[in-house]
Structure 1
Amino acid sequence: MTDILIVQTGGTIDKDYPQTKGGYAFEIDEPAAKRILAQGRVTFDYITTTACRKDSQEITHQDRETIREVCVAAEQNRILITHGTDTMIQTGLFLSAAADLEQQKKVIVLTGASKPERFRDSDAHFNVGLAMGALQCLVAPGVYIAMNGKVRSADCASRDNTGAFQ
């Protein structure tokens, strides 16, 4: 069985600004986590799937239900969700409240980026690495947020006035 499931939902981490649109519009590209892990030469097994490809401000209740369903159906007990930062905490809280996930005792970590992974100075690589390390070290099942060098349970995560996760 594969060790880790990576669920793409979209967000800045996966954004690309193709030249065909003059740089004024974005597309949600293929999962950035796949490129990051390939560059990192990881030796664990993982698979990726896409729940949706949206800016997190556009994620709906139905999208969160789809994300939950993907997590419940997963064979893996360790799940990374890449997500936009604007509503990452809301999705984390939604998943934390899901009784069917709680019963399965899965470790779920959400992460994202303040700049697209395609950008040279993106924080995406660091955040995905942090999230992957957390997934492999966390013992207690639950839903966590891994951003800005910190890992917090979703119900303890917050953002300060600069937008940094606390």
Structure 2
Amino acid sequence: MTFQAFRMSLVAAAITVAGFAGAPTLAHAQDTRATTATQAQPAAAKPRVVVLATGGTIAGAGASAMNSATYTAAKVPVDKLLAGLPELSNVAQVSGEQVFQIASESFTNEHLLKLAQRVSQLAKQGDVDGIVITHGTDTLAETAYFLSLTVRTDKPIALVGSMRPGTALSADGALNLVNAVSVAASKDARGKGVLVTMNDEINTARDVNKDINIQTSAFKSQWGPLGMVVEGKNYWFRAPVKRHTTQSEFDIDSITSLPQVDIVYAYGNVQPTAVNALVAGGAKAIIHAGTGNGSVADRMVKPLQDARAKGVVIVRSARVPYGFVLRNAEQPDDKHDWVVAHDLRPEKARILTMLALAKGASTQELQRMFWEY
């Protein structure tokens, strides 16, 4: 007997003892808890949503139901993920496509480009109303921001993952995926850019970040979520104000490669070793994740100035998770010809900087982009 069959037999036995011998199966019970408020519609009237699977914990499996944090990611293919959620048929006409099957910490620039190109292709199809991307949570926010900047569509795009594998007790992936499909199928999500749907919240790709690695409430936006999904219904509280998707000056259809942009992390007793190595290694830009307000240690100023003199773009960001970096505050950015990342964290500052440099942007243009995106 497999673990899943054993687990289902235990639940069935518990139902019988409680006097509900004719009660639904475990799968049906889970479906009932996750059932959306969306009323069944004629098949032809349902929105058409494509689920692009890339791997991650949502496709992971652990050795036992107690393994919520130790498991193997990227094991379950998309067809099995969708087959395990029959209630999706009440929400949309859903089809799946396996783009990658990897843990998201292994995402590369090439993965970003390939995924964005496929999303753009689907978004142009008249028979696609929305797109969901299942993704590992480690770099989900980076991928979401990249798509938000490069895919020119007003159709809903929702990224989703899970903090626990589907084999764990109280796994979060199933409802997260149902909610993501509900968002992608909704007309009221059109024009809001790329969204991240996790833990009942709807967040904009630009603002959201993974803030904790051990709880299901892992993703937060410092400016708050756009809305929530409750029983399949979207509740909106605010709208994105920064440029994205259809308002973006970037277009994945014209991007074939991305420049090398790296991150240097500040800490007590930091030395210029990493900066010098990255410059020698061909970095086109360095994101300096500074302390506090993007602060730069005295001994790091000259190495960063030297890097800029060699043509390397320097962007001051902060390792502090909330707040924003003020220009010409901790450092005379105008004098150094440096750029500040505003409220973008270092990893997202890297995404925007790559795209800007791929367009040949100057430091002045890049600074303008940080204000606008």
Range class of TM-score, shorter chain: 0.7 to 0.9
Q: Verify the 8 A CA contact 1:17 1:27 in the aligned structure 2.
A: no
Q: 1:127 aligns with which of 144, 165, 176?
A: 176
Normalising by the residue count of structure 2, what TM-score does the alignment of the two structures yield?
0.39
Q: Distance in 1 between matches of 2:163 and 2:54?
A: 15
The residue aligned with 1:165 is 219
Q: Distance in 1 between matches of 2:195 and 2:114?
A: 18
SS in 1 for 2:219: coil
Note closer, same or farther for the CA distance 1:78–1:51 as it changes in structure 2 (3 Å cut). Answer: same
After TM superposition, give the deviation of residue 26 of structure 1 in Å. 5.4
Q: Verify the 8 A CA contact 1:8 1:50 in the aligned structure 2.
A: yes
Note closer, same or farther for the CA distance 1:4–1:26 as it changes in structure 2 (3 Å cut). Answer: closer
Aligned counterparts, 1:16-165, within 5 A: 16-17=61-62, 28-31=75-78, 33-38=81-86, 40=87, 42-43=89-90, 44-74=92-122, 75=125, 76-98=128-150, 101-102=151-152, 104-137=153-186, 138-161=189-212, 164-165=218-219
Aligned length: 159
Paired amino acid for 2:55: G
Paired amino acid for 1:81: I
After TM superposition, give the deviation of residue 50 of structure 1 in Å. 1.2
Paired amino acid for 1:158: N
The residue aligned with 1:14 is 59
Gapped regions of structure 2 (runs ≥ 5): 1-43, 65-69, 221-373
Q: Distance in 1 between matches of 2:178 and 2:71?
A: 30
Fraction of identical pairs, as percent: 23
Q: Distance in 1 between matches of 2:179 and 2:168?
A: 19
After TM superposition, give the deviation of residue 69 of structure 1 in Å. 1.4
- What do residues 57-78 of structure 1 show as CA deviations (whole Å, max 9, x unaligned)? 0111111111111111112240
Larger fraction in strand: 1
Q: Verify the 8 A CA contact 2:137 2:210 in the aligned structure 1.
A: no
After TM superposition, give the deviation of residue 17 of structure 1 in Å. 4.6
- What do residues 122-154 of structure 1 show as CA deviations (whole Å, max 9, x unaligned)? 101121122122222313241000012210110
SS in 1 for 2:185: helix
- What do residues 98-142 of structure 1 show as CA deviations (whole Å, max 9, x unaligned)? 0xx22x322110001001123332101121122122222313241
After TM superposition, give the deviation of residue 15 of structure 1 in Å. 1.3
After TM superposition, give the deviation of residue 13 of structure 1 in Å. 0.5
Q: Distance in 2 between matches of 1:142 and 1:136?
A: 14
- What do residues 31-80 of structure 1 show as CA deviations (whole Å, max 9, x unaligned)? 25413432x25232111101110001011111111111111111224000
Q: Verify the 8 A CA contact 2:57 2:136 in the aligned structure 1.
A: yes
Q: Distance in 1 between matches of 2:133 and 2:60?
A: 15
Q: Verify the 8 A CA contact 1:5 1:46 in the aligned structure 2.
A: yes
After TM superposition, give the deviation of residue 159 of structure 1 in Å. 3.1
Note closer, same or farther for the CA distance 1:160–1:68 as it changes in structure 2 (3 Å cut). Answer: same
Q: Distance in 2 between matches of 1:118 and 1:77?
A: 31
Paired amino acid for 1:3: R
Q: Verify the 8 A CA contact 1:18 1:26 in the aligned structure 2.
A: no
SS in 1 for 2:89: coil
SS in 2 for 1:146: strand
Normalising by the residue count of structure 1, what TM-score does the alignment of the two structures yield?
0.84
Structure of higher RCO (CA pairs closer than 8 Å, 6+ residues apart): 1
Q: Distance in 1 between matches of 2:94 and 2:200?
A: 22
